[in-house]
Structure 1
Amino acid sequence: MSSFTIPKTQVAAVVESIGAPIEIKHDQPVKQASELAPGECLVKMEYTGVCHTDLHAKKGDWPAKPNNPLIGGHEGVGIVVAIGEHSERPPVKVGDRVGIKWLANSCLDCEFCRKGFEQNCVKAQLSGYTVDGTFSQYVVSFVHHVTKIPESIDSASAASILCAGVTVYRALKNSNTHIGDFIVLPGAGGGLGHLAVQYAVNMGLRVIAIDTGAEKQKLCLSLGAEKWIDFKQSTDIVKDIKDATGGFGAHAALVTASASAAYEQAVDYLRPTGTLVAVGLPNAPLGANIFWTVFKSINIVGSYVGNRQDAIEAIEIAAAGKVKVHYELKPLNALKDVYEGMEAGKVVGRVVLKCE
């Protein structure tokens, strides 16, 4: 099912084995329309965001290992150019502009899927991790999991909403907060963090942003953060947060930082009954003090990306102009340099690659 001309080969960024260097290949095969299984669709990529998860996939340093050879990437926007024959009630059609997310596919029938935790499906397939992702010109995805992109948002901006946006949006929904509550966002100037600031402000929350550097400070305050704390300049982050919240501490902390120290501090600066939402994924113990966790009635919640409905809501809020992705546009072959910038902590906002 296709009215588009589909080439036999494409440009793609490939990691042949765990920890291997990225290879920009110009002869990577493209799955043809006749080869698509029922439920699969072929998407001609326009733009893709770059996430820290992609760097972990390249390095293979998480407990769950990626499948190699691998094309990474899981924040892609493009056009459906083919749909597998005999696909059952596909909600998208050829020519639709769609987004591809971390969760590429799930069974939709297990207990987790039925309860809206599709991302925890035991049969889940993950874009750019267990199946090839969006660092390419064409990608195979699944008709029931791609997200339609509203006309009012451009493709480059929409890309990062599909992971960074939906992840922090779902995490905020899990934070047990209400209008007027204080929320601390460690890593606020990064790809997830700067979107978390905006979603939180639009939910009526009072944002305390933690990060480092004048550029990130300017960004966070311009997006509506009420208080900025530079973790390299502060001599007592816990005191700074308590001073900013009337002495009681914050109602919630949404940790997008990938450093375990950001988690260790959270129980100290949360007020009694506060909620720690774990989003960033360092492969390390949580480090929360058990006595104070119990004594302060602290809630600790793990929040892992989001489901299909979360993605629709997150993209619609962005399409309405309430949330904007601050990104730098680069070509696909700049991916190696982007990873180096991520490891050095120099990336402000998000990097988006043009897939050509």
Structure 2
Amino acid sequence: MASEQLPSTMKAFVLEQFGQPYQLREVPLPEIEHQDDILIRVEAGSYCHTDAVVAAGTMHPPSLPHIGCHEYAGTVVALPQGKSSIYGLIVGTQVAVSGRGYHVCEKCQECRNPSGPVPDEPGFSVYCPWTHGGLGVHGPGGFREYAVVDSKQVLPIPGSMTAVEVAPLMCAGLTIFAALKKCNLKPGQRVGFIGCGGGLGHLGLQFATKMGLKAVGVDSSPGALQFARDLGTGAYIVNAAETKAEDVRQQLGQEDKAEHISEMGLDAVLILTDSQQSFTYGVDLLRNGGLAIVVSFPPEGFQVSAADLVFRRIRLEGTLIGSNKAMKEMLEFCVEHGVKARVKTYSFLRLNQLVEAYHSGVSGKLVVDFQKND
């Protein structure tokens, strides 16, 4: 194994009980056991909504103890024994780690024929039913000093970006970018983000406007609405607590010189929040024939109006995180257009304070910066 001098143990934040704070523990350094694996020194780990539901034990509860974080970044410090490079990665390469499948089977229908607007290369699919699951969700993730990751699911970080900037893009950014691609919209068309003041939403507003789309952001809390406005994207921001969806449709219809209410509204809407009220509001914003992309996954699901599907021809589709191709395209897009997550950083030892801030409703993305000392 080609590597730098490595310790035998490391610090990790471990979830030992669902619904309880992470515990700082000294644990053995993980070993490379698979030909596609690499060992990285973690430099930044971003906290995501999925981390919150995993920690609460409400979504595919992992075995405990568990190390969370499925969007992170770091530097390669070791490769499989006998290899000096793997998929173009060498010791010292700074990489972004996405919340995608770990050790997919490479042989199933999904892997042989990946689908989506920007599909994976044959042999890898985020929808593989035989995957070992996502690191940080089913297996150990990035809230530790070193992590073993699948070299097939990482990409080198562009030289102009930092680990702290890239980490929030590895789930939130990649998911919303892929969702926008799935909408297949042309410049000038309208797209809405239900939950625009959150991690995915504020990135979606930036991506959409830089793609030439007319973005509409919807939220209800004053802080989230102000956060969305402060991005300066020029998106139309709607307070759902004060404005009816029908009124928004009519106002936009007047701007578009639409002649009938059926022609007024958004071409697509992305549902980023968990409440039925938000889902209904988003669907009500669509013009007839519009597309609703469901990104969130509340345990109780959503109730769908048959009348919307039958008489208004509303289309409904779900989406998961994007492919490696989409990740590369997204990173290049971010560099070209200056798209960045708005982040607040915490030192590694302050992870539980970060989690408290998340649950208090702090806007933007909250990121552990392993280089930060405070």
Task: Report if TM-score (shorter chain) is over 0.5.
Answer: yes
| Residue 301 of structure 1: how far off its partner (Å) | 0.9
Query: Residues 251-288 of structure 1, C-alpha deviation per residue, up to 9 Å, x if partnerless?
Result: 11011123232112222221011000001222122212
RMSD value, Cα: 2.0
Map of 1:320 onto structure 2: 336
* Cα 1:24–1:238 shift into 2, 3 Å: farther
* Cα 1:166–1:223 shift into 2, 3 Å: farther
> Using the alignment, how far apart are the partners of 1:11 and 1:260 within structure 2?
41
Matches within 5 A, 1:253-332: 253-332=269-348
Map of 1:347 onto structure 2: 362
> Using the alignment, how far apart are the partners of 1:8 and 1:238 within structure 2?
61
> Using the alignment, how far apart are the partners of 1:18 and 1:318 within structure 2?
36
Out of 279-288 and 210-219, give the one that drifted further: 210-219
Is this contact kept in 2: 1:40–1:140, CA < 8 A? yes
| Residue 86 of structure 1: how far off its partner (Å) | 5.8
> Using the alignment, how far apart are the partners of 1:209 and 1:110 within structure 2?
39
Map of 2:46 onto structure 1: 49
Matches within 5 A, 1:208-227: 208-221=216-229, 222-227=231-236
Map of 2:149 onto structure 1: 141
Matched letter for residue 231 of structure 1: A
Matches within 5 A, 1:66-81: 66-81=62-77
SS in 2 for 1:126: coil
Matched letter for residue 9 of structure 2: T
| In the alignment, structure 1 residue 28 sits paired with structure 2 residue 22 | no
Is this contact kept in 1: 2:271–2:294, CA < 8 A? yes
**Residue from 196, 219, 223 that aligns with 2:204:** 196
Map of 2:240 onto structure 1: 231
Is this contact kept in 1: 2:16–2:64, CA < 8 A? yes
SS in 1 for 2:224: helix
| Residue 321 of structure 1: how far off its partner (Å) | 4.0
| Residue 307 of structure 1: how far off its partner (Å) | 1.2
Q: Normalized against structure 1, the TM-score is what?
A: 0.92
> Using the alignment, how far apart are the partners of 2:18 and 2:224 within structure 1?
32
Map of 2:12 onto structure 1: 12
Q: Normalized against structure 2, the TM-score is what?
A: 0.88
* Cα 1:112–1:31 shift into 2, 3 Å: same
Query: Residues 156-178 of structure 1, C-alpha deviation per residue, up to 9 Å, x if partnerless?
Result: 11111111110000000111322
Out of 89-98 and 134-143, give the one that drifted further: 89-98
| Residue 126 of structure 1: how far off its partner (Å) | 0.4
| In the alignment, structure 1 residue 91 sits paired with structure 2 residue 81 | no
**Residue from 95, 120, 142 that aligns with 2:127:** 120
> Using the alignment, how far apart are the partners of 1:104 and 1:74 within structure 2?
11
Query: Residues 292-332 of structure 1, C-alpha deviation per residue, up to 9 Å, x if partnerless?
Result: 22211111110111111111111121122431111001112
> Using the alignment, how far apart are the partners of 1:131 and 1:189 within structure 2?
29
Query: Residues 124-180 of structure 1, C-alpha deviation per residue, up to 9 Å, x if partnerless?
Result: 220111110011111110111112111011111111111111000000011132211
Unaligned runs of 5+ in 2: 116-124, 255-260
> Using the alignment, how far apart are the partners of 1:338 and 1:318 within structure 2?
25
| Residue 214 of structure 1: how far off its partner (Å) | 4.6
Unaligned runs of 5+ in 1: none
User: How many residue pairs are counted as aligned between the two chains?
Assistant: 350
Query: Residues 99-142 of structure 1, C-alpha deviation per residue, up to 9 Å, x if partnerless?
Result: 11111422233221233351110122201111100111111101
Q: What percent identity do the matched residue pairs reach?
A: 27
Out of 84-93 and 142-151, give the one that drifted further: 84-93
Is this contact kept in 1: 2:100–2:135, CA < 8 A? yes
SS in 2 for 1:119: coil
Query: Residues 18-69 of structure 1, C-alpha deviation per residue, up to 9 Å, x if partnerless?
Result: 33431122x121124xx4321111010111111010011111112x222321
**Residue from 102, 107, 110 that aligns with 2:108:** 110
Is this contact kept in 1: 2:174–2:327, CA < 8 A? yes
SS in 2 for 1:200: helix
| In the alignment, structure 1 residue 163 sits paired with structure 2 residue 159 | no
| Residue 215 of structure 1: how far off its partner (Å) | 4.4
SS in 2 for 1:339: helix
